[in-house]
Amino acid sequence: SQQGEEDPQALSIQEGENATMNCSYKTSINNLQWYRQNSGRGLVHLILIRSNEREKHSGRLRVTLDTSKKSSSLLITASRAADTASYFCATDRNSGNTPLVFGKGTRLSVIA
Amino acid sequence: DTGVSQDPRHKITKRGQNVTFRCDPISEHNRLYWYRQTLGQGPEFLTYFQNEAQLEKSRLLSDRFSAERPKGSFSTLEIQRTEQGDSAMYLCASRTDGGRSYGYTFGSGTRLTVV
């Protein structure tokens, strides 16, 4: 089963614009992670935010977490064509002692 | 170590045949995970190991599926009597135990096509 649900399912933007993807989940978590997947490849870990954190930054990435709403958002600023990929949120319920549960992903297309 | 390696990258097999996939994790990672991903979906958990011990198996893992990690290093995933519904990307991931980083390192996957 998949706990996370990303929204939107697909997003198309122009290069230079910001891209925002949202993730909702169902049960309590210890941390939430975002991954990126280029077509036909494995996933790459982008960023982790713990349940006691509200916002985190890494380069052009900004992640927020609202545990009261069981939701997270991933913002990619100043997007580039190379950011074209699928983005997945994944929830960790027990500090790594249970496997990550992934959402269905958002397919981002950045048009040059 | 350059990352998690999976072999083969692609496998086409006839329905009813057995297939085996291999995953070589990052050497210092003692946790190893198998996921399955179909088109347009996120990865779905199959099973995971801590060293050589298989700690959890998903209900998705029918009795036709078996996974091993005999010496706590590489792992194999075998599917017996393959069915068309087994067609998917099979992803392996690893991570170290403990510490504060819970992020997974994924391999590039094995794409299975059952014809």
Asked if A44 and B104 come within 8 Å (Cβ–Cβ), the reply is no
Instruction: State pLDDT tens for residues A45-73.
Output: 999 999 999 999 999 999 999 999 999 99
Cβ of A99 and B45 within 8 Å? yes
- Which parts of chain A have pLDDT scores under 70? 1-4
Average pLDDT, chain B: 93
B44 contacts A2? CB cut-off 8 A:
yes
> What pLDDT, on a 0 to 100 scale, did the predictor assign at position A89?
96
Among all residues of chain A, which has the CA nearest to that of B41?
A104
Residues A23 and A73: beta-carbon distance below 8 Å: yes
Among A4, A100, A101, whose Cβ lies nearest the Cβ of B104? A100
Residue B101: pLDDT band with limits 50, 70, 90 = low
- Give residue-wise pLDDT tens across range B6-54: 999 999 999 999 999 999 999 989 999 999 999 999 999 999 999 999 9
Question: Hey, is the C-beta of A96 within 8 angstroms of any chain B C-beta?
Answer: yes
* A42-51 pLDDT, tens digit each: 999 999 999 9
Strands (E) across chain B are located at 5-7, 10-13, 19-24, 31-37, 44-50, 53-57, 65-68, 75-79, 88-95, 105-106, 110-114
Question: For residue B99, what pLDDT is reported?
Answer: 60
Smallest Cβ–Cβ distance between A42 and the set B31, B42, B109 belongs to B109
Is any Cβ of chain B less than 8 angstroms from the Cβ of A50? no
